[in-house]
A and B are shown apart, each in its own frame.
Chain A
Amino acid sequence: MQNQTLFARPPHLFRLGGPRLFAPASRTLGGFILLVMVAFMGGLLWSAPSLAQQAPAVTPMSQRPPQELVASVTRDILETIKNDKSLQQRDLRRLSELVDQKVMPVVNFSRMTALAMGRHWRTASPEQQQRLVAAFRDLLMLTYSEALRYAPEATIDIRPARYLPSDEDVIVRTALIRPGKEPIPLDYRLQKTPDGWKIYDFNVLGLWMVEHYRSQFTQLVSAKGVDGLITTLEEKNQALRQAVASGKG
């Protein structure tokens, strides 16, 4: 972890990284979607941009307005990945630390899990709920781990806000920009809480995760019950970990 000073940033700097003038030639469609996913990880980060000079800490990160929160968290995560070779090589332990340090503080993850479970959430015991939250976190992390490879050349564009200052549930729209590729739309839903704004859903290429996983989970719960869903999730995570480990060479 490098410098993580908190500092305020004027709103006109939202275009992170700006237009890419010098871009290495890169991959195609495949990478493009993966990238998107990277952006997710990027978007969830919470601490200040490490490009910071000596700007003093002003507002705690989570108390910032939604667009600014998403912008600084995203830039921070992209910078962290750019400066960390082990992350680029998909070191899962390192990634997990990154997620805990930077992503989880700005995400209301139990709410996200509950929404993805839909009506089945309330039928789950507290112990089942805990396992669901943990398994869902790992699933999302592993999904987007592939995107780590593409993060070094990516920048994030924050698109114009479409919410009122008084709104307490907003969508922040961004696009992941890679040279020579189509932009990847990446949006976040945030809710105002006593602890500041928290992300509780995100959208990659038009697909909202809560809605998507709810239809996948509902199907599994109907067929196998909540315990069956947990087992399936944990097995899937195990298989994904092995795939990441073996694909490393």
Chain B
Amino acid sequence: MRQSRLWLLAFCLFGLFGCASIPEGQQADGRDPWERYNRAVFDFNMEVDAAVVKPLAEGYQAAVPEVVRGMVRHFFGNLSDLVTSVHHLLQGEPTEALTAAGRFLVNSTLGFFGVSDPASELGLAKSREDFGLTLGVWGAESGPYLVLPLLGPSSVRDGLGTAVDMTLDPLDPVFNSSQSAQNTAVGLRLLDTRVSLLGLEPALSALSFDRYSAVRDAYLARRAQQVNPNAPFRDETEE
């Protein structure tokens, strides 16, 4: 399972070297030297989303009651708390690691295997970390911006992180009974994520006149802030 996911990723990466054109008036961005390739993958992702993922997500949203979707969301969120806890520890943040681990323990027991979230009511704050951020905290630069096929915005560092996170995905041991159970779980998690993004679309649309560069800028800004929340402000508003 894990291996097939990585192969799919590799296949898409190397199969897609078509080039998209860069819109008129666009200024080259030093953080994005592979823009032509990235734009091609971005367009590909948008097409896959419009043709397959988004319709499925809308169907899921329409067919499944919010109560049930909430349970699904909390279940995956609970597993992510476990991963987040490990990353806090790797980043030298024991307090946050304990909070995330506490959330996992409380929600796995009181929360019936994670389908509800009593930990938040107890004041244990939710956070989310991944291996890309851990590498960043360790001092790795993000490297060039990279759009991953199917997975979306990333960077060289974060793409490596994603590969590591995929191989250590807690869904694998949880659903180790059968391949089809794993596939179902991965698919459901994808739908859950996509549904959560449906409501964002008007805002994203307003933020972007060139959607590609808006997504890129938002992604890079967010990741930089997550790695270093107290970075000095880079004043670019004056001429």
Interface residues of A (CB under 8 A from B): 19-23, 25, 27-34, 37, 115, 118-119, 139-140, 142-147, 162, 171, 177, 179-183, 185, 189, 201, 205-208, 210-212, 214-223, 232, 236, 239-240, 243-244, 247
- Interface residue B54 (Cβ < 8 Å from any Cβ of A): no
Closest B residue to A211 using CB positions: B236
Q: Choose among B25, B27, B126, B203 the residue that contacts A34 (Cβ–Cβ < 8 A).
A: B203
Closest A residue to B236 using CB positions: A211
- Interface residue B117 (Cβ < 8 Å from any Cβ of A): yes
- Which residues does chain A contribute within 8 Å of B223, judged by CB atoms? 206
Instruction: Report A40 CB to chain B, min CB distance, Å.
Output: 10
Complexed CA–CA distance, A37 and B203 (Å): 8
Contact of A223 with B25 at beta-carbon distance under 8 Å, contacts A22-B121, A30-B198, A143-B206 already known: yes
Complexed CA–CA distance, A216 and B230 (Å): 26
Q: Are A216 and B206 in contact (CB under 8 A)?
A: no
Q: Are A139 and B206 in contact (CB under 8 A)?
A: yes
Q: Are A28 and B193 in contact (CB under 8 A)?
A: yes
Q: Are B237 and A31 in contact (CB under 8 A)?
A: no
- Interface residue B116 (Cβ < 8 Å from any Cβ of A): yes
Within 8 A of A (CB), among B166-207: 192-193, 195-200, 202-203, 205-207
- Which residues does chain B contribute within 8 Å of A218, judged by CB atoms? 25, 27
Q: Choose among B117, B125, B218 the residue that contacts A183 (Cβ–Cβ < 8 A).
A: B125
How many residues from B make CB contacts under 8 Å with A? 51
Closest B residue to A236 using CB positions: B206
- Which residues does chain A contribute within 8 Å of B202, judged by CB atoms? 142-143, 145-146, 240, 243-244, 247
Interface residues of B (CB under 8 A from A): 23-27, 70, 73-74, 77, 116-117, 120-123, 125-128, 192-193, 195-200, 202-203, 205-210, 213-214, 217-218, 221-226, 229-230, 233, 236-237, 239
Q: Choose among A30, A142, A240 the residue that contacts B199 (Cβ–Cβ < 8 A).
A: A30
Closest B residue to A122 using CB positions: B239
Number of A-B contacts (CB under 8 A): 142
Complexed CA–CA distance, A182 and B129 (Å): 10
Q: Are A215 and B213 in contact (CB under 8 A)?
A: yes
4 tightest CB-CB pairs across the interface, nearest first?
A206-B225, A222-B25, A30-B196, A28-B196
- A-side interface mostly: helix
Complexed CA–CA distance, A141 and B218 (Å): 19
- Which residues does chain A contribute within 8 Å of B122, judged by CB atoms? 21
Q: Are A144 and B203 in contact (CB under 8 A)?
A: yes
Contact of A146 with B203 at beta-carbon distance under 8 Å, contacts A29-B196, A207-B221, A211-B236 already known: yes
- Which residues does chain A contribute within 8 Å of B126, judged by CB atoms? 180-182
Complexed CA–CA distance, A247 and B205 (Å): 15
Closest B residue to A229 using CB positions: B209
- Which residues does chain A contribute within 8 Å of B193, judged by CB atoms? 28-29
